[in-house]
Amino acid sequence: MTTATSSDLVISPGLYDATTEYIELLPIVTADGTNNLSLANSILTNVVTESNAVPANVKVGQNFFYGIEQYNSSVGNLRQLLLSESGIGELIESDGGIFLKREHVFEQSLEDDFYTPITSESFLKFDEDSYVIITTYIPTDYIQLCAQKDAVLCTTEAFTPTPVELGENSILGRRTDSIESLDSSGIHDILGYASPIESVTAHTGSIILATSLLELVGSDSKIVSHQLHLRSRNTHPSTRTKGYLIFNDNKKAFEGYDGTKWRQLAWADETTQVNVEGFHWVIDGDTVVLYDANNNVVKTGDAVYGPRL
């Protein structure tokens, strides 16, 4: 979550709700012409417009540094600050209105006596339906800027520090004109769902992975390539399962593990002889010849191989 800060004048009249302790942000001027800033006894009654209002500059659900001021009803030299408070809060929507929900208080004052609250949640209590003035501000104390946990201090405007709270399993990134905490969906919004795949498929150079295991878990997974290169090794791997294939450099041969032992794979141009009960087969390349005990040819045929390289 990004904490909104602004160097511009941002101000709204507010009405305190003693039940929820929320402060409803009112329009500066109502449809019937009532000026709510005047009801809060602001000296800026005829200066600001709705474009300066807090809801026009702070999004609902976004944290911001708030200031609250309550004045008496006198004017001129008799106008007096009664209560004030500064802290971090957020705007929420409720019953069709926008309210300030205070989350962390930094400083309070009673008339001209400023003090630090006992706890960060010891918020000021105003009289029911009291009119107050809500503003935003930029803290000059870096401790206040670092009040949020897991937050990074950023700037989108010069001399305007903006804390950005990082969510769980998120990264810091810039989207449009804001720096935000981005989760996987936010990253996809920026890169597009197809971009990582397109980046890999369009890559023509080498892709080298540091991992010791690359596993395809699909029930019908395949590797399709014009070439397959197994690096040679001098020993059998200590961890193996049925189906392992290696090139044994000592034997200068491919070997496969059948689940019990390593077996050497035959080359197509090798001659192999098999003896069975007085008969024997001789496999020479792609031809198999059956001989009897007297070495007479009984039958010839094409050799059909199992795993072979």
Per-residue pLDDT tens listing for the chain (309 residues):
555 555 578 999 999 999 999 999 999 999 999 999 999 999 998 888 999 999 999 989 888 899 999 999 998 899 999 999 999 999 999 988 999 999 999 999 998 888 888 888 899 999 988 999 999 998 888 888 888 888 888 887 788 888 888 888 898 888 777 788 888 878 777 776 555 667 677 778 888 888 888 888 988 899 898 888 889 999 998 888 898 999 999 888 888 999 998 888 866 555 555 556 676 667 666 677 777 777 787 778 766 555 544
Question: 84 is written with which tokens?
Answer: 């004030």
User: What is the rounded CA–CA span in Å between residue 111 and residue 108?
Assistant: 10
pLDDT of residue 32: 94
Q: For the chain, how many residues are written?
A: 309
| pLDDT reported for residue 267 | 65
Question: Which residues pair with residue 283 across a beta bridge?
Answer: 272, 288
What does pTM read for this prediction?
A: 0.57
Identify the pLDDT of residue 99.
97
The answer to whether the CB of 65 falls within 8 A of the CB of 137 is yes
Q: What is the pLDDT of residue 309?
A: 44
Long-range pairs, 141-150, Cβ under 8 A, ≥24: 144/65, 144/106, 147/88, 147/104, 147/106, 148/3, 148/63, 148/88, 148/104
For strand 271-276 and strand 3-4, is the pairing parallel, antiparallel, or unpaired? unpaired
Cα–Cα distance for residue pair 96/301, rounded to 1 Å: 89
Question: By the 8 A CB rule, do 280 and 274 touch?
Answer: yes
Say which DSSP state 52 is in. G
